[in-house]
Structure 1
Amino acid sequence: MAKRNNLLIFILTIGVFGILTTEMGVVGVLPLVADYYHISVSQAGLLVSLFALAVAISGPIMPLLFSGINRKKVMLLVLGIFVLGNIVSMFASNFTILLIARVIPAFFHPIYCSLALTVAATSVSREEAPKAVSKVILGVTAGMILGVPITNYIASETSLEITMLFFAVVNAVAFIATLVFIPSMPVKERLSYGSQVSVLKRPLIWLAIATVIFIGSATSSVNTFITEYLETVTNISGNILTLALFILGLSSLIGNLVGGRLLMRNAIKTAITFPIVLGIVHLLSLLTGTSTGPMMFTILLWGFLFAIGNNVSQYWITSAAPEAPDFANGLFLSFSNLGITIGTAVGGLFISGMGAQYIVLGGLLFLLLSLVSILIRKYMFDFKKHLSTEGMK
């Protein structure tokens, strides 16, 4: 049973890696896309922001609509759509076609990722769930951060078309592995749409949603423009730039695993500490940004903490609605992507208004807001716990 669960989680991790690499991998090639289609870098950024917006819109709806269908069939459907979308992207003759070929699959993105997180959590005991989920989020984090330097390297050594082929191949591998190794997964206990949606009546879930948005905005306002930052502020390019992005990605993988373990030990303490520590690292970048050596250390810390942020966000919202995991994970995907859209827009404003060095100021603002929302939830939880204790007396 343990071997089967490990294989299942491994395949799910590959699947979310393929989907998230498709979403975020283009961050590393936005200047190349701009040159190829004769548009500005900010216009090329629509490949990131509109993809994220599509996920944000479909996040609460699509996992809900597909929640009663055999999970293996749903996963194959979504992976197939991503393979097809990436093949169309390879041959896109203009930017509009490329944008459409990316945005359509984006609407199906939350279905697969939500199912992957739910299946991972339910395949083990409740105590082990954060650890199992962190392994799937490892694929999310790898796609979001490690996918950027991989894509950047492929594009610099080959072409934009081969980069799109890479996206297609990764999704195809996940499709084949799912088809061959994952057994049929019919839904045994289907929750009604109404019972799942009813969790939105809780103030606690809305506080969790706010936290997810703020954390997503805080990390994306910096991460989306990391290539631009390193090129213009740190003045690195070529192989050194690729190395820096790999450091960011590899440290994020470590941070992801550490984040799962920290949440198992003390979830509240981990959530409160995260925005404080990342805020300190943002301030550190103002001192190290122009020096290659010190900036490599800052990048390592960025990657480590960005990954923990994903773990905190997912746990924070699913713990507020444990009886509706598919819907809660859909909300996590939706609002974290809304955070990406907001963070990308704010980061772009700081770049155009003050320069790339100051994108961390937007990150600091959102981290402060996330800390406030986390502390309010903690206060509410402690207050309710106190009332229930007093009532028992």
Structure 2
Amino acid sequence: MRRTLYILATGIFGIATTEFSVIGILPQIAERFNITIDKTGLLLSSFAIIIAIFAPFMMLLASSFDRKKLMLLVLAVFTISNILSGFSVSFNMLLLARMLPAFLHPIFWSIALSTAAGSVPKEQSPAAVSIVFGGFTIASVLGVPLATFMTSLFNWQASFILCAIINLISFSAMLILLPELPAIEKQPQGAQRTILRKPVLWINLILACLMIAGMYSTYGYIAVFLEKVTRMNNIEISLMLLIFGFTGIGGNYFAGKFLSKNITKTTFAFIIALSLIHILLYFEGSQFAPMIIVTGLWGFIHTAGFLISNVNVTSAASEAPEFVNSIFTSCGNLAVTLGTAIGGLCIAHFHIRIVIWSSVILLVLSAIVLVIKQYTKFST
């Protein structure tokens, strides 16, 4: 079963690289199409908003099909989308090519995460899910920095071709090595929707939304921040993203361990630690050497955020794993959209460094929600 988890992680690696690789090349795309940085943020936010709107519906529609074949279809579409992106001659064409695979994205995430959680005893599920989330972390370690590095070596189109190759490799690994995953017995849609009546699910969704929005309000523009504030060139930015991702592997691993012991304490520690990291970013952002250390710490804390958010949400409705994971996928991408939109507004109307405080405010709000959850009826 552990082999299955690692294969699922390779698929997550492919689609996560596609979704987030644009973070490192927004300045080059803005220059190529003569548009503002906040407009290039649409390449990330539009992808996310489609997932946010359609995730639960797509999973309900696909739940009766063979799960392995569904995941292979998703990776095939992602490969084609990246090829189209690499040959885009206008920003609108690039935006459309980016939006194409977003409709299928939640199917892969929901199946992969629910398969991981259901493959082990309940108390071990956070650790199993953390392995699959490791694909997301490795995308941060290798995918996003490599896409940025390809841009610095060649051009921005090369980064999308790289993403196409990564998804093709993931497709091949899954086709050859993943065991069959027939469709599970389909629950009545009414039975699945009953989880939406749980107050604890909604409070956990609000908590996850605020946490992830806080993460991406600044992280969505990390390349811009390092270029404008820290005064780094493309190669230096690529190396910083590599540091960010490598430390994130450790953060993701330890988060899985701590979540197995206490979800609430791990969540609270994450919120406090990430808030402090952002404050450090504000005061040390213009200093080259300190930013190397701060970026490493930032990656270690930041990367655990999706896993922590997922465990909070799915623990509230374990009786409908794929449906609740699709809801989480919707929530997470809505949060990415919210975070990048807020960050883009800060950049457009204030100095780039002010974006830091948008993240801090969102994280403080998430801490307030967590406290409310613990000391009201929502904790049960």
Identical amino acids, percent of aligned pairs: 37
2:26 counterpart of 1:30: yes
- The answer for the alignment partner of 1:84 in structure 2 is 80
> Distance between the aligned counterparts of 1:350 and 1:115, measured in 2?
36
State the Cα distance separating 1:314 from its structure 2 match.
Answer: 0.4
Question: In 2 relative to 1, CA 383–173 (structure 1 residues): closer, same or farther, beyond 3 Å?
Answer: closer
* Alignment-derived partner of residue 371 in structure 1: 367
For 2:303, what is the secondary structure of its paired residue? Answer: helix
TM-score where L is the length of structure 2: 0.96
| Cα deviation, residue 146, structure 1 | 4.6
**Equivalent of residue 55 in structure 1, options 45, 51, 54:** 51
User: 1:95-110, aligned counterparts within 5 Å?
Assistant: 95-110=91-106
The CA distance in 2 between the partners of 1:241 and 1:173, in whole Å, is: 26
Structure 2 residue identity aligned to 1:136: V
Distance 1:146 1:349 in 2: 29
Structure 1 CA distance for aligned equivalents of residues 271 and 38 of structure 2 = 28
1:225 aligns with 2:224: no
Cα distance in 1 for residues equivalent to 2:249 and 2:267 = 18
Letter in 2 for 1:8: T
CA deviation vs aligned residue, 1:60-101 (integer Å, no higher than 9, x gap):
221222122111111111111111111211222222121111
Residue identity matched to 1:355: H
Return the match for 2:286 from 286, 290, 310.
Answer: 290
Q: Is the 8 A contact 1:215 1:336 kept in 2?
A: no
> Where in structure 2 are the equivalents of 1:1-393 lying within 5 Å?
5-144=1-140, 146-380=142-376, 384=380
Q: Is the 8 A contact 1:259 1:307 kept in 2?
A: no
- Residue 193 of structure 1: CA displacement? 1.4
Alpha-carbon distance in structure 1 between the residues aligned to 2:29 and 2:276: 34
The one-letter code matched in structure 1 to 2:211 is I
Deviation string 1:362-393 (CA, Å, 9 cap, x unpaired) is: 01111011112222222236875xxxxxxxxx
Query: d(CA) in 2 for partners of 1:227 and 1:253?
Result: 20
Aligned-residue offset at 1:47: 0.7
- Give the TM-score taking structure 1 as reference length: 0.93
Q: Deviations over 1:118-166 (max 9, x none)?
A: 1111122222211110011111233356532211101111222221111
Q: Matched residue of 1:59: which SS?
A: helix
Taking a change above 3 Å as real, the CA distance of residues 168 and 382 of structure 1, as seen in their structure-2 partners, is closer
- Call closer, same or farther: CA 1:180–1:381 in 2, change over 3 Å: farther
Does the 8 Å CA contact 2:26/2:223 hold for their aligned counterparts? no
- Residues 23 and 144 of structure 1 are in contact (CA less than 8 Å); yes or no, is this contact kept in structure 2? no
Note the C-alpha offset of 1:328.
1.1
Q: Note the alpha carbon deviations across 1:313-351, whole angstroms, 9 max, x for none.
A: 000100011111111111111111111111111111222
Instruction: Give a deviation string over 1:197-234, Cα, whole Å, max 9, x none.
Output: 11111111110110111011100001011111111111
Distance in 1 between residues matched to 2:60 and 2:296, nearest whole Å? 37
Change in 2 beyond 3 A, CA 1:274/1:152: same
* Whole-Å separation in 1 of the counterparts to 2:354 and 2:324: 34
For 2:261 and 2:344, locate their aligned partners in 1 and report how far apart those are by CA, in whole Å: 37
Q: More deviation in 110-119 or 303-312?
A: 303-312
Letter in structure 2 aligned against 1:220: Y
**Which is worse superposed, 214-223 or 352-361?**
352-361
- Structure 1 unaligned blocks of 5 or more: 385-393
| Displacement of 1:36 | 2.3
- Name whichever of 109-118 and 241-250 sits farther off: 241-250
| SS of equivalent to 2:120 | coil
Residue 123 of structure 1 aligns with an amino acid whose one-letter code is S
Q: CA RMSD in A?
A: 1.6
Q: C-alpha displacement at 1:179, in angstroms? A: 1.2
Structure showing greater radius of gyration is 1
Which one-letter code corresponds to 2:287 in the other structure?
Answer: S
Contact 1:130 1:315 in 2 (8 A): yes
* Contact 2:38-2:345 within 8 A present in 1 as well: no
Structure 1 pair 382/76, CA: closer, same or farther in 2 (3 Å)? closer
1:184–1:37: structure 2 CA closer, same or farther, 3 Å change rule? same
Task: String of CA shifts for 1:285-304, please: whole Å, max 9, x gaps.
Answer: 22211111111111111111
Counterpart amino acid of 1:44? Answer: T
Q: Per the alignment, in what secondary structure is the counterpart of residue 123 of structure 2?
A: coil
